[in-house]
Amino acid sequence: MPRKLRVYLAGPITGCTEEQVRWWREEVKRRLAHEFEFEDPTDWANGRPIPFEIEKIQACDIVLANMWKESIGTTVGIIRANEQGKPVVLVDPNHMNNAILQSLIQPEKPVRSIEEACRRLQEIAKELKPLRVLKKDGREEEFSPGKLTRSVARAAAEAGVHDPNLEQLIAKPVIDELRRLGEERSGPFTEASVTTEEIRHRLLDRLESLAARPELTTDLHERAKRVLAAWRNKEQQKKGEQAIREAEQRVRKAEEEAEHWKRLFLSLKDKGLPSPEPGTAEGPVEVSRFKSAEQLLDRFMKKWGSFVVIHTEALATARRLKPPLTAKERDELYELLEQLGELARDRALALAEGSRLPTFEERFGDRYAATESAETKKRYRHEFREYEGRQYLGLQHLKARVESSERLRVYFDQLPSGQFLVGWIGHRKIYSVDG
């Protein structure tokens, strides 16, 4: 069973008779006791400090303020409710038409009787169903009108604008619109919800609307523009701070990965590192250590898997080679990969020990290219390879001539850990501008 909403019964107390203080409050309770709970300050008002009243208002959902005569305390209660984003029903039975009070409840209008106030409370209750906020990181929290109102007040303060009326003109319609939006998408088994982006867009739309409305005074136009500028500036600062945080997280993760692999490489050194296999004696063309590209790559990964990662796409491209590799070419491919494994091992140890890293040019000479020719990139190198949540294009490559008069190429990238990621293995045609 949903909880009953709680209504704060604000109205003059000091200098009033017992009947003036209690009759209208008892009437509201009599009419609506089955629908609402009530906070009646006459139960505790005498001798209580103001902060106690603020806490009581904060614990309520709606404020009903019966301003049958002027009352500073009731006016302060309305202001407190506004600060907390609470709906206010203002009763003006004697038609005082106080402009200050009316401005405090905009865009609401005062009602003229207790009966009308009770009907308005019932209408508001239908609008105040629970509303969830869906955050970008997937978390949820209860929608807080007070939080939104305070954000608007902070933006106004940063703009040098101190106008509670303007803050309410901004915040209250946005709160109402968000509640309607959440209600539209709720169902029998679905809670009303809005996203943080929807809250942001509604606030910006409201600020832009106030800054452009012709019926508002020039002074109000200017203040709305200043608050809008402050809000946008605040958003830019947040984006910058978020970008810095994300960059710092990436750096920390890369440092953690590098440290992990550094420890691993040093431990491998103690246990004994892979060394090149002795070459096979020259013999018939079809004599090879490997019957297929799959067997070749399986052997390589078992030996060099701590230093070189073979992407699943590289396995696929090696299997799809047309024409398929001859026995001699399979041996050449293995030797090329083994030299890459040796270099990865030597660079990993140099990095772990803090010594100079051996370069690709030193080890491979003109068999290594740091990038690809424009012609080859245009024809082939559009696809990215995804590995552990990152994308790699893999333009660095090793190359060797093979019997098909093409290049046998091995494309790779360097991972944050210092390992190499092989993303593509296969033939490439040789173009006039290609190396």
pLDDT 10s digits, 257-315: 767 766 766 666 665 666 656 554 444 444 567 888 889 999 999 989 888 999 999 99
Q: Domain check: are 158 and 264 in the same one? A: yes
Q: In the chain, pLDDT over 70 holds for what percent of residues?
A: 85
How confident is the model at residue 281, as a pLDDT? 45
Q: Look at residues 128, 147, 171 and tell me which one is the last residue of a structural domain.
A: 128
Parent domain of 352: 286-428
Q: Domain check: are 143 and 211 in the same one? A: yes
Q: Can you read off the two tokens belonging to residue 164?
A: 């509670």
The type of residue at 119 is R
Q: Domain check: are 262 and 350 in the same one? A: no
Q: Domain check: are 394 and 264 in the same one? A: no
Q: Domain check: are 297 and 332 in the same one? A: yes
Q: Domain check: are 368 and 314 in the same one? A: yes
How confident is the model at residue 1, as a pLDDT? 53
Other residues' Cβ atoms within 10 Å of the Cβ of residue 186: 16
Confidence of residue 350 (pLDDT cuts 50, 70, 90): confident
How confident is the model at residue 283, as a pLDDT? 44
Whether 435 shows a pLDDT value over 50: the answer reads: no
How confident is the model at residue 285, as a pLDDT? 43
Inter-axis angle of helices 327-353 and 218-271, to 10 degrees? 110
Whether 379 shows a pLDDT value over 70: the answer reads: no
Whether 118 shows a pLDDT value over 80: the answer reads: yes
Residue-wise pLDDT tens digits, 50-82: 567 888 888 898 999 999 998 988 998 898 888
- Among 50-59, 197-206, 292-301, 388-397, name the one with the lowest average pLDDT: 50-59
Q: Domain check: are 26 and 112 in the same one? A: yes
- Cα–Cα distance measured from residue 173 to residue 420, given in angstroms and rounded to the nearest whole number: 56
Residue 280 lies in a domain: no
Mean pLDDT score of the chain, rounded to an integer?
A: 82
Confidence of residue 219 (pLDDT cuts 50, 70, 90): confident
Residue 17 lies in a domain: yes
Residue 434 lies in a domain: no
How confident is the model at residue 271, as a pLDDT? 57
Q: Domain check: are 414 and 339 in the same one? A: yes
Residue 433 lies in a domain: no
Q: Can you tell me the mean pLDDT for 333-347?
A: 91
Residue 27 lies in a domain: yes
The listed range with the strongest mean pLDDT (34-38, 202-206, 251-255, 274-278) is 34-38
pTM: 0.45
* Token pair 């772990």 in the structure block, residue: 352
As a three-state string, the secondary structure of the chain is CCCCEEEEEECCCCCCCHHHHHHHHHHHHHHHCCCEEEECHHHCCCCCCHHHHHHHHHCCCEEEEECCCCCHHHHHHHHHHHHCCCCEEEECCCCCCCHHHHHHCCCCCCECCHHHHHHHHHHHHHHCCCEEEECCCCCEEECCHHHHHHHHHHHHHHCCCCCHHHHHHHHHHHHHHHHHHHHHCCECCECEEEEHHHHHHHHHHHHHHHHHCCCCCHHHHHHHHHHHHHHHHHHHHHHHHHHHHHHHHHHHHHHHHHHHHHHHHHHHHHHCCCCCCCCCCCCCCCCCCCCCHHHHHHHHHHHHCCCEEECHHHHHHHHCCCCCCCHHHHHHHHHHHHHHHHHHHHHHHHHHHCCCCCCHHHHHHHHEECCCCHHHHHHCCCCCEEECCEEECCCEEEEEECCCCCEEEEEEEECCCCCEEEEEEEEECCCCCCC
Q: Domain check: are 258 and 219 in the same one? A: yes
Q: Domain check: are 296 and 264 in the same one? A: no
- Among 39-43, 74-78, 161-165, 392-396, name the one with the lowest average pLDDT: 161-165
Q: Look at residues 92, 111, 128 and tell me which one is the last residue of a structural domain.
A: 128
Residue 334 lies in a domain: yes
Q: Domain check: are 160 and 265 in the same one? A: yes
Whether 112 shows a pLDDT value over 80: the answer reads: yes
Q: Which CATH number does the domain housing residue 67 bear?
A: 3.40.50.450
Q: Look at residues 128, 149, 174 and tell me which one is the last residue of a structural domain.
A: 128
